Amino acid sequence: QKTSFHRSQTLDFKNGYAFSRLPREGVGGDTLFANQLSQDELDDLCTRGSTLTYGQVRRSAPSSFTPAFVAYDKKVLKFDAYFQEEVAISAEEHYRIRHVGIYYYLEDDSMCVIEPKVKNSGLVQGKLMRRHRVPKNEQGDYYHWKDLNLGIDLTMYGRTYRLVNCDSFTKVFLESQGIEVNPPEEMVLDPYTEQRRTPVQKPNVPAGPDPFRQFLTYDTKVLRFYAIWDDTNCAFGDHHPCVIHYFLADDTVEVREVHRRNDGRDPFPVLMRRQRLPKIFADKNKNFPSCVLEITDHEVQEWYSPKDFAIGKSITLLGRTFLIYDCDKFTQDFYREKYGITDFQPVDVNKKPTEKAPQVIPPYNGFGIPEDSLQNCLSLFPKPPRKDIIKMLENNLKVLRYQVALESPVPEDKNRRFILSYFLSDDTIGIYEPPVRNSGIPGGKYLKRTKVTKPGSTPEKPIYYEPSDFTIGSTIEVFGHRFVIIDADEYVLNYLERNAESFPAATVQSIRDHFHPQQVVVETASSGFPKKDLDDLIVEVQKELKLHHEPFNTRKFHEAFHHFDPEGSGFLDKTRFLNVCDRFHVPTSTILLKKLIDYCSCGEDKVNYRDFL
């Protein structure tokens, strides 16, 4: 009559640690007696005294256990059997004997039925029943290897198999399990198969022609001709290479077109399907719809035969004319044996290359450079002209600069000066006009970087300006404007002297003569002043100007000298030079400045103001 069966709590936490303690009460709140053993426990202690003293008795190892799927792995019982199948729709056989092999797998007691495949049997052969456990009856029992033996009928899924033989492993296994194996039986053969294997007496062939003799003799033998279909009379027509196949087995003809890559035509395989082609039609009514109805032997008087095909002969097939120009080796042997033809020289049908019409380049329209405009005439999608990458890398940032004057009848243009830059990387020219205050001309970029043609060159063969064309005093015509070269950068002289073999001697000598008076002054002064003394003199002059002279506008000082030198020669009269220095309060009367002016003087009345500056 106990109703409470709860147990007391034995799990607890103390100081953050989990621990277990002994129960204080029994199940359902019963009182627990400390160190009290039951009678069964006391009896067990009495009987196990030796065990407590000497330990547990060592028991013998249990026998090893091998599962069935390991013991019988890859062990199969094989029985030879057959079954009888009814044939209801054949007049030659009423039943059929089919030989099978029944396989029993010992590892999982599964079975499968496999029928060996017979070539051209017309039956679905192979695995007739997949591997699985086969039910034996409706009570849920399955076939076991104890149920198998020779000379018995085995029914599986409504089909009865007769077991007639087995292999040696199956026989040894069954006998080892105490089963008496019945003697093997003879395999029953299929009567229809045996009837087919018996030789059939061939009937005597009559002396007349056999309608099937041609098919049996010439089967898989085809005459091959290479022909050309001339379709140039039609719009967008062309010469189509074709292959004509003549099948000797049934006198049919097939025409296939040979397609080439990018020939612009649909790559359909057959131009004319395999069929008998009429050569001569019989007399028929004009209203006969021959294009709709099939042509029979009554409408055709003569069909095409092998004698109608020959190399070099034109043949019309269904309204298309083909020129046969060659054939293969089998065709040559066939005509040589049957018709005695020995001439098989192929006909040359290759078209002669047409002369390419010269391309007429339209005249230059003046937009852009001629090379860029020419690309629109060479391709549908113009590409930019190709650049000389090697030249651009070798001459990168190399620029020849010249000072030029505008040759113009307008008086205001006589004093205009320009900087002409020649870029060696791509042979382009850019012109820049330095702005001059109060001149009325804004200055800036006069000509953006572009190639400039020489006067007299044609747009078809443009001739561009080169560094050899720029000499002191030469005239450069740029798009109708004439410029005269009056000065050059010192880099021009250095570049021309380093590459003197690439430029005419007259060009190099012109630049050298222009810089010769300046070099004469420097050499003359240097001969009187050693380099160290000259450097000391320049330092002393700079110190004196800083101590005794107020700072002045250097740009105006330069512009004043250039104003009195309109030709840009770099030389001024000594009197005018001293007047300009007095205007800017330069103490030319001091000894140091007199020495510097003497250093920059050229003769008695000329001073190189560029060296002085």
Output the pLDDT for position 305. 92
d(CA 607, CA 525): 12
Partner residues linked to 105 by β-bridges = 76, 110
CATH of domain 211-339: 2.30.29.170
> Comparing 115-129, 223-237, 586-600, which segment has the lowest mean pLDDT?
586-600
Output the pLDDT for position 301. 86
Percent of the chain as helix, strand, coil, to the nearest 5:
30, 25, 45
Same fold across 68-192 and 211-339: yes
d(CA 407, CA 548): 45
Measure Cα distances from 314 to 228, 229, 237, 317, 350 in Å.
9, 10, 18, 10, 16
pLDDT at 350 over 80: yes
Please name which of 169, 165, 171, 174 lies closest in space to residue 145, comparing C-alpha atoms. Answer: 174
pLDDT, the chain, mean:
84
d(CA 57, CA 46): 17
Give mean pLDDT, residues 192-204.
Answer: 80
Please name which of 321, 322, 277, 323 lies closest in space to residue 302, comparing C-alpha atoms. Answer: 277
The pair of three-digit structure tokens given for residue 72, joined into one six-digit string: 């019988």
pLDDT band at 604 (very low <50, low <70, confident <90, very high): low
Task: Assess contact for 116 and 128: CB atoms under 8 A.
Answer: no
- With b for 16 or more beta-carbon neighbours within 10 A and e for fewer, the 46-79 pattern comes to eeeeeeeeeeeeeeeeeeeeeeeeeebeeebbeb
d(CA 176, CA 296): 78
pLDDT digits (tens, 9 = 90+) for 212-235: 888 888 899 999 999 999 888 888
Domain boundaries along the sequence of the chain: 68-192, 211-339, 397-524, 531-608
Give mean pLDDT, residues 429-445.
Answer: 89
Measure Cα distances from 595 to 170, 296, 528, 533, 571 in Å.
133, 127, 11, 11, 18
Give mean pLDDT, residues 21-34.
Answer: 79
pLDDT at 380 over 80: yes
Task: Assess contact for 129 and 158: CB atoms under 8 A.
Answer: no
> Comparing 151-155, 158-162, 375-379, which segment has the lowest mean pLDDT?
375-379
pLDDT digits (tens, 9 = 90+) for 446-484: 999 999 989 888 877 888 999 999 999 999 999 889 999
Phi and psi at 610, nearest 5°, equal -65, -45
Task: Assess contact for 51 and 134: CB atoms under 8 A.
Answer: no
Sign of CA dihedral 248, 250, 255, 259: negative
Give mean pLDDT, residues 585-593.
Answer: 71
CATH of domain 68-192: 2.30.29.170
**Greater confidence, 45 or 245?**
245
pLDDT band at 113 (very low <50, low <70, confident <90, very high): very high
Give mean pLDDT, residues 195-203.
Answer: 79
pLDDT band at 525 (very low <50, low <70, confident <90, very high): very low
Output the pLDDT for position 521. 44
What is residue 274's DSSP assignment? E
In words, the CATH class of domain 397-524 is: mainly beta
pLDDT band at 207 (very low <50, low <70, confident <90, very high): low
pLDDT band at 1 (very low <50, low <70, confident <90, very high): confident
